[in-house]
Amino acid sequence: MINLFISDSLIQTLIFVIWTLLAVTVASAVYCLRLRFVNNHHEIKQKKLFDHWEKSFFDYLYGNMDADQWMARISSKQFRYFLEYIKSYLITLRGEDLNKLSALMRHPRLYDYLNRRLKRGGHQARSEAAFYFGLARIEKSKSGLVTGLKDRDHVVCYNCAMSLGKLGAVEAIDDIFIQYSRRRQFTRNQLMRILFEFGSNVCPSLLEQLPKAKHDSARLLIVSLFEYFKFYPAGPQLIDLLQKTKNVDLQLSCISALGAIEYIDALPILKSFLNHPTIRVRRFAIDAIGKIGDLDLKPDLYHLMKHENWWLRYSAAEALWKITNHDVRVMENIYQHSDNQYAVSTAQVLLAEKQMGA
């Protein structure tokens, strides 16, 4: 019966599917193995060269050899491997050692090689060149990196921005923010990573950027950096932003930053957030109050220890513990005399933890 319904063309189709599946499978496996072999070959060659360089590299660092002598040992074909070799040193070494490594990177042969790659290489080459310029802190690469911010490839742009961060080029902040607002692939985490590279010096520039920022995501990031670097002068702007914004995440960040910089003038507004409808916002306000410390808020915190949400009442207990300067008697008093079961159990957990050294 089935015979009647199966035409030759259907069988032909199946045979075509068989060949396609076979071809796809074999081709992908071969491609994958080829990648693995290329990678293995690269690793073997790399190891050989690294072992060779390792023997004399410290001679260079200790001053027994100058940059010209060292560079004379490396052919231009080996530059790729040499950059790999020097990478971990560039990441870990600081001070005089880093200057000596930078001198190698500034050597005309290597600098020209990288510069050529940044300007005319493929996207991978441009991206790597940008990366190494930053890693070696090569000041004269700044203009090339600023140009690279406009590169059509997102990864190149990202690496240029990272390198500008390493070079502390705060004058490029505006350009970086422009790229952030224009590029869809540019994530907040990437911008954060870039700004982080600038270190705390970036904060005054960010303070100028805050009112100009077009998106809440950028504001959020700037506030988080103020928090991380504990940038006290941002206090008034943070209060202003906290009063104006309706974005809960931004509110959380502002509250948290005000707590981190221990901005006493923020206490009245923080107190108003203790009644916020969102539990998370309330919890952040409690934490901030705990960090700034105001004994007048003891009754409010005790009241919050009776809340049905565990994380809220635990935060209130922790804040109370902090503002009373770790006074065990306050918690014991709540534990022994409170008529509220939530407050009692929270005090009990906190006491148990603190007594066991948590």
Partner 1 sequence: MKLILQVIYYYNYFVLWYFIIICTIYLFLNLLSFRVIREYAKRVKQVELTDVFRLHHHKPISVIVPAYNERNTIIDSAQALLQLEYPEFQVVVVNDGSKDDTLERLIRHFGMKKVPFVSIENLPTEKIRGMYRSNEYPSLLVIDKENGGKADAINAGVNSSKFPLICVIDADSILERDCLLKIARPFVEDENVVAVGGIIRIVNGCDVKQGRIMEIGVPDTWLGRFQVVEYLRAFLFGRTGFDVLNGLIIISGAFSCFTRDALLMVGGYRTDAIGEDMELVVRMHRLIRKKNRRAKITFVPDPVCWTEAPESFEVLKSQRIRWQKGTIQSLGFHKSLFLNPKYGWVGMLVYPYYVFFEAMGPFIEITGYVVFAVSWYLNIINLPFAIAFLTVAILFGIALSMLSVILEELSFRKYPKTSHLLVLFAASVFENFGFRQMLSWWRFKGTLEWIFGKRAWGHMEKRGFWKR
- Closest CB to partner 1 among residues 31, 58: 31
d(CA 135, CA 102): 9
Least Å distance, CB 224 to partner 1, is: 5
- Closest CB to partner 1 among residues 192, 267: 192
Residue where the block lists tokens 């074909």:
77
Least Å distance, CB 196 to partner 1, is: 6
Name the segment binding partner 1 (CB under 8 A); options: 71-79, 98-106, 299-307, 345-353.
345-353
Name the segment binding partner 1 (CB under 8 A); options: 22-30, 101-109, 200-208, 325-333.
22-30
Residues 234-293 that bind partner 1 (CB under 8 A): 249, 252-253, 256, 284
Residues 115-154 that bind partner 1 (CB under 8 A): none
Least Å distance, CB 103 to partner 1, is: 28
Residue where the block lists tokens 């990648």:
35
Buried-exposed string 259-288: b where 16+ CB fall within 10 A, e elsewhere? bbbebeebbebbeebbebeeeebbbbbbbb
- Closest CB to partner 1 among residues 115, 224: 224
d(CA 195, CA 218): 11
**263 three-class SS:** coil
Least Å distance, CB 221 to partner 1, is: 8
- Closest CB to partner 1 among residues 14, 178: 14
Residue where the block lists tokens 């502390």:
168
d(CA 184, CA 276): 34
- Closest CB to partner 1 among residues 111, 342: 342
- Closest CB to partner 1 among residues 4, 295: 4
Under the criterion CB under 8 A, does residue 358 sit at the interface with partner 1? yes
Would you give the binding string for partner 1 spanning residues 27-66, x where CB under 8 A is met? -xx-xxx-xxx--x--------------------------
**260 three-class SS:** helix
d(CA 326, CA 335): 15
# binding residues, partner 1 (CB under 8 A): 52
Name the segment binding partner 1 (CB under 8 A); options: 107-115, 187-195, 235-243, 292-300.
187-195
Name the DSSP letter for residue 64: S
Residues 301-320 that bind partner 1 (CB under 8 A): 310-311, 314
Q: Which of 78, 205, 340, 345 binds partner 1 (CB under 8 A)?
A: 345
Helices 79-92 and 8-61: crossing angle in degrees, nearest 10, is 60
Query: How many C-beta atoms surround the C-beta of residue 340 within 10 A?
Result: 16
> Residues 207, 213, 214, CA angle at the centre, nearest 5°?
170
Name the segment binding partner 1 (CB under 8 A); options: 6-14, 54-62, 94-102, 198-206.
6-14
Query: How many C-beta atoms surround the C-beta of residue 164 within 10 A?
Result: 28
Nearest to 166 by CA among 192, 190, 139: 139
- Closest CB to partner 1 among residues 297, 312: 312
- Closest CB to partner 1 among residues 6, 72: 6
Tokens of 273: 């957030």
Would you give the binding string for partner 1 spanning residues 220-239, x where CB under 8 A is met? -x--xx-xx-----------
List all residues 6 or more positions away from 347 whose beta carbon is below 8 Å from its beta carbon.
305, 317, 331, 332, 334, 335, 338
Query: How many C-beta atoms surround the C-beta of residue 153 within 10 A?
Result: 15
Rg from Cα positions in the chain? 30
Residues forming contacts to partner 1 in the complex (CB under 8 A) are 1-3, 6, 10-11, 14-15, 17-18, 21-22, 24-25, 28-29, 31-33, 35-37, 40, 155, 158, 187, 189-190, 192-193, 196, 221, 224-225, 227-228, 249, 252-253, 256, 284, 310-311, 314, 345, 348-349, 352-353, 356-358
